[in-house]
Amino acid sequence: MGEPISLPPEVVELLARHAEYRRRQARLSFEEKIAILERMRELKAWRRNETPTRASSSGVLQQSVLPSRKH
Amino acid sequence: MKETLQVLNQMVADGVIDGYVIGGAIAATYYLEPIDTNDLDVFFHVAVSPSGLITLSPLYEYLHKLGYEPQDETIEIVGWPVQFLPIFNPLLEEAYEQAEAITFHGVSTRIMQVEHLVAIMVQTGRPRDYARILRFLEAEAVDVAALAPILAKHGLSERWQEFLRRFDIKLQKE
């Protein structure tokens, strides 16, 4: 292996926070973890089916100029 | 997933499969944090026809009658794409035999033990398997002393040492 990489303190802090977040999630019950995965799946499905939108200058969401990904 | 497991249990009760065990990312989720995945990996013994041929047709026919159809390499059963993976080697056989019985919302099921999961990942050896092994080690979720004899029994010790060297991992006890 090469020389150890020195990371900026803010990155080290971010990585530590993420590791703690993962440890907390690992302590959830299996049922709770699967519920999280099921919500992630729902979100992915929604993203696949949802037409992309964009905000107008007035802040109102408009239909995207991109074609719908719905089949 | 509760309903998916109920269908799998009914397949066992109806003799379509002899039994099953959950592996892959869902089994990893049991021991770690939720692992994003597209499917539920189910390892099972293939029913052998009287002629000795191995066939998946009864499984597909059974699920077809229930309205569950194949999509690519999976069959979606009540919202979860299930990948049926035949047990084809001694390590998978051992993982199946020694799986842990658990319940999920009151439904009985079986899940691979963490040491077998890791051994299978060592055997499979894809980059994502190595990434997942690193997560098991980082979380101290695997007993390396219990893992060592499994790796040795299935001829994976050298591959394990190579993995440790590659990622510069020094284990306290093995």
3-state secondary structure string across B9-64: HHHHHCCCCCCEEEEHHHHHHHHCCCCCCCCEEEEECCCECCCCCECCHHHHHHHH
- The 10s digit of each residue's pLDDT in B113-161 is 999 999 999 999 999 999 999 999 989 999 999 999 999 999 999 999 9
Burial of A67 (0-12, 13-18, 19+ CB in 10 A): exposed
User: ipTM score of the complex?
Assistant: 0.89
How many Cβ pairs closer than 8 A exist between chain A and B? 43
How crowded is the C-beta side of B39, counted as CA atoms within 13 Å? Answer: 16
Q: Please report the pLDDT score of residue A71 as a whole number.
A: 45
* B160 contacts: CB under 8 Å, gap ≥ 6: B122, B147, B151
Please determine, for residue B49, whether its predicted confidence score (pLDDT) is greater than 80. Answer: no
Q: What angle do CA B69, A47, B2 make, to 5 degrees?
A: 45
Assigned token pair, B84: 């049926």
- The 10s digit of each residue's pLDDT in B84-98 is 999 989 999 999 999
- Return the CATH architecture of domain B2-112: 2-Layer Sandwich (3.30)
Q: Please report the pLDDT score of residue A2 as a whole number.
A: 61
Provide the shortest C-alpha distance from residue A44 to chain B (in Å): 10
- The 10s digit of each residue's pLDDT in B159-174 is 999 999 999 888 875 5
B50 band by pLDDT with thresholds 50, 70 and 90: confident
Q: Give the B-side interface with A, CB within 8 Å.
A: 1, 26, 29-37, 79, 102, 104-105, 138-139, 141, 168
| Selection from A6-10, B43-47, B99-103, B164-168 with the highest mean pLDDT | B99-103
Whole-angstrom distance, CA of residue B22 vs CA of residue B14: 19
Whole-angstrom distance, CA of residue A53 vs CA of residue B117: 42
Please determine, for residue A32, whether its predicted confidence score (pLDDT) is greater than 50. Answer: yes
Question: What average pLDDT is seen over chain A?
Answer: 77
Residue B108, helix vs strand vs coil: strand
Can you give the residue ranges of every domain in chain B? 2-112, 115-166
Average confidence (pLDDT) over A6-32: 91
Report the percent of chain B where pLDDT is more than 70.
Answer: 97
Q: Which one of A15, A23, A30, A42 makes the best mutation probe of the B interface by having the most chain B beta carbons within 10 Å? A: A30
Nearest alpha carbon to residue B37 among B128, B108, B137:
B128
